[in-house]
Amino acid sequence: MDHFQLKDGELYAESVPLARIAEEVGTPVYVYSRATLERHARVFREALEGLGRVHLAFAVKANPNLAVLRVLARAGYGADIVFSGVGKTPAELAQGLDAGLGQFNLEHEEEGHVLSALAEARGQRVSATLRVNPDVDAGTHEKISTGKADNKFGVPIDQAPAMYARLAALPGLRMRGVACHIGSQLSNVAPLEAAYVRIGRLIADLRATGHAVDRADLGGGLGVRYRPEDVVPWPTDLGEMVARVTKDWHVELMFEPGRVIAGNAGVLLTRVVWVKPGVTHPYVIVDAAMNDLARPALYGAYHHFEAVRPSGEHMTAHIAGPVCETGDTFAMSRAIDRVRSGDLAIFRTAGAYGATMASTYNSRALVPEVMVDGDRYAVVADRISAETIMNAERVPEWLAD
């Protein structure tokens, strides 16, 4: 459930008409709903109640806006406490140590050696897990699958016991357990279950060889509804499956949800520039583009399009942005609300992997972000103009004349 709903024939974010935000802040603009973020955070947390010790770490990459993080931190999510990533540089590892991060998820053995040496030099012993690649097919888009044997993430599960033993012997590391994340936008929990069953066997093997294992990081990945007809797993489906699979693990379970918390808590508000006749269908040209919302161009992703003041009439159209690339197309031959030049519209489910993946391609401004809270709203990220970006560029003296 989200708080972007029609009231008296026009779309609101909570109690604020989207048209007001468009008027006052301009378009394109991302709009987040605080109540929706809080609701998703609560529903996810409640679905995992009863699992014993649980640590929730919001996947900051999904939406790193500071106001969003503040909402989630208040809801009990420990953003940024777990450091994952296949390319953490030694300098970043050192920074993480200096910042006192709670846990490092190691992606391979050499990284563990470097982290141990850095920690030892600081007189620290740092908590770490080994990220395992369980070799399961997440059944999602290939570009967001991470748990197949040949993906770049984690270590092959059959090599994990020996590697874990070597890492556990290092003086700067306190190996706490294992981590896995097999992909994003999963449409059911079966692939997660297959992965967790393997993780369970690994934990038992590690314990049998004398290792203490007290944490298992189960990653993120739950899919959300992009199309009205999408059938997606509920957090309670995850909770029930995890309770069943992990009942004998006796560890602290960690989760890194991203999309399920933020996805439907944000929309991209845009204005129709023109409705241009086309050969098969008209082109609805909007003022948002692939640089503002990259997912359709990158993954062929679907984002539901709705008029802010729907007339009740419909049309079939292509929807595209103004950038000079055919990839700057949000939809082809889509049945949508009838819109005219100057109308406002939204792309839904844009709260995760939306603004954070924006760029300034085509010398476009960096898209701003707004958060709504009841009947008030605030700009939580400014529009950064092309001029400001150009001001950070330099023409060297030897090119000046």
What residues are annotated to the active site? Answer: 324
Minimum Å gap between C-beta 130 and ligand LLP is 13
In the structure encoding, which two tokens stand for residue 41, read together? Answer: 């955070």
Minimum Å gap between C-beta 256 and ligand LLP is 4
Minimum Å gap between C-beta 72 and ligand LLP is 13
CA terminus-to-terminus distance, the chain: 59
Encoded amino acid at 85, one letter: G
Shorter beta-carbon distance to ligand LLP: residue 180 or 344: 180
Calpha distance 312→137 (Å, rounded):
42
Residue 369 β-bridge partners: 30, 381
Calpha distance 288→365 (Å, rounded):
11
- Show the CA angle centred on residue 172, arms to residues 171 and 176, nearest 5°: 95
Shorter beta-carbon distance to ligand LLP: residue 153 or 377: 153
User: Residue 325's CB: how many other CB atoms inside 10 A?
Assistant: 14
Shorter beta-carbon distance to ligand LLP: residue 259 or 271: 259
Shorter beta-carbon distance to ligand LLP: residue 84 or 270: 84
Q: Are 284 and 339 in contact (CB under 8 A)?
A: yes
Shorter beta-carbon distance to ligand LLP: residue 183 or 310: 183
Q: Judging by DSSP bridges, how do beta strands 266-276 and 344-347 pair with one another?
A: antiparallel
Minimum Å gap between C-beta 260 and ligand LLP is 6
Given the rule CB under 6 A, which residues bind ligand LLP?
59, 61-62, 84, 144, 181, 184-185, 219-222, 256-260, 295, 299, 352-353
Minimum Å gap between C-beta 357 and ligand LLP is 6
The answer to whether the peptide bond before residue 296 is cis (omega within 30 degrees of 0) is no
Calpha distance 213→183 (Å, rounded):
24
